[in-house]
Each structure stands twice: as C-alpha cells, then as structure tokens.
Amino acid sequence: MVEQDIISRVYAAKEDISEADALVRQYLPFIKAETAKFLKRPPMEGQDEELGIAMFAFHETVMSYQRSKGAFLPLASTVIRNRLIDHYRREKRHKGLLSLNQKVNDEDNSPTLLEQMDSGCDNIASLQARHATREEIEDFAKQLSHYGLKLTDIADNCPKQSHTLDACQQVLKYARQNPVLLEQLISTGKLPITALAKGSGVEPKTLERHRKYLFALLLAFTNGFEIIRGHLCRISPEKGGN
C-alpha cells in the first residue's frame, strides 16, 4: 500500500473507532516486527506485554497523526520504540536499577537505553502522542468524578497479588460478554456485585474489596478509552498487598 493510501486509512480511523481497530489488526505484522526489534526476538502473544504496549502506541499514532509530521509508518515506528523504552525505564525505576547505560536486554550486542533513545523529531512524535494520552486521561478523570471517584482511588484500590488480578480480569471478561451489566453500571452508578460474582464465579468479597478499580476498568470499556484501558490492564501484580 502506497503512503497516500495509508494516510487515507489513518484519517478515516481517526473518525471511526472500528476503522482504527481494523487498521491495528492489518498492521499487526508491522507492530510485531517493531516489537521484535526492541526485544531482539519475536514477541509472544499473551505473554510479552511489550506487544500490547506497541499496539497501543500504534493506535496513539493513528489518533494523533497529522500530515505535517511526515510519513506515517516511520512515525509509528518511533512512537512504538519510545513507548517501549518508557515502559522499560518505568520497570527498572520501580526496582531501583535504572541506568541509561544499561542494555535493553541480556544479549551481548544489545544497545543501551541511551543508544536506543532518539531526539529531535522523535521528541516531537513523543510529545504528540503524549498530548493525545493527556487529553484522554483528563476526559476519563471527568467521567470518574461524575461517579464520585478519582484517579488516585484506582491506584489505591488496584489488586496487588497475581491471583487477585486474575480474578478481576475474570470479572471483566464476564462483564464484557454481558453488556447489560455495563449498561446497569452506567445507569445506576454502582458496580453490580451480586450479578458479577454469580456469573464470573469470583467471591463477592473480592469484588467489594476492589470495587473502585473494577468500576473504573468497566467504565473505560464502555466509553472507548483505548489508551486508559491499556494502562489499567497492564498493572503488574506485586508481592504483598491484599
């Protein structure tokens, strides 16, 4: 597909979420290839969260793209790489191990973070994508406030143990398969704990304990907050906690 055709598809996707999803699926081989460049190996679906991050980065690029920024695919490649580097830096910072001279992976010929990071036009691309993310976060915060919640409530209420995170994902899966529950959430402003517990098989006390987190996650799935969904679903469980 020539560049002009790609740009036409991108602009159509900016106006239609189904077109955006279709574009992401069509360019999944490209996204996987860019992820493989970073990992220095092919990404594994369902195992490497870097692939999910790359997909959201591609989607961000679609939503924020302007012709004045140049060709689309090189820009998407840059945004994907920067998002993966951001993710890597966050993970290392949480562990207190971050160094710009640290290698991206364990291979001897792996580049350092400093070598991987771009400047100049890359910074423009990064700022452009971050602007789109900021706008979505602000909109999501407004939606939460309508139901008496704050973004900090989500962070304070998110599951800390892997089995609890799995249970919350099980609840989410059941709710998405039963849209009437999502409609009930919006109309009443309350998490339908009894119905969710019965349908998902998760204990009601688990849902109650993480009620605010689950409410926010389900709200994100009812209003098209693609970037927010990615951040919420990528929360990594840590030892300890609930």
Residue range 11-46, pLDDT digits in tens? 998 888 788 888 888 898 999 999 998 888 888 876
Is this model's pTM higher than 0.75 or not?
no
**Contact status, residue 113 vs residue 85, Cβ threshold 8 Å:** yes
Strand partners, 38: none
Cα(146)–Cα(181) distance, rounded to whole angstroms? 19
148-186 per-position pLDDT tens digit? 888 777 777 877 777 888 888 899 889 888 888 888 888
Cα(139)–Cα(240) distance, rounded to whole angstroms? 32
H-assigned helices in the chain: 3-15, 17-26, 28-39, 49-64, 72-94, 113-116, 121-146, 151-157, 162-177, 179-188, 193-200, 204-209, 211-222, 226-233
Say how far residue 45 (Cα) sits from the centre of its chain: 15
Say how far residue 136 (Cα) sits from the centre of its chain: 12
**Contact status, residue 58 vs residue 31, Cβ threshold 8 Å:** yes
Q: At CA 213, angle to CA 208 and CA 216, rounded to 5?
A: 120
Model confidence at 92, pLDDT cuts 50, 70, 90, reads: low
Q: Which amino acid is at 142?
A: K
Whole-number mean pLDDT of the chain? 76
State the pLDDT at residue 122.
46
Q: How far is CA 56 from CA 28, 133, 138, 218, in A?
A: 11, 11, 18, 18
Say how far residue 218 (Cα) sits from the centre of its chain: 14
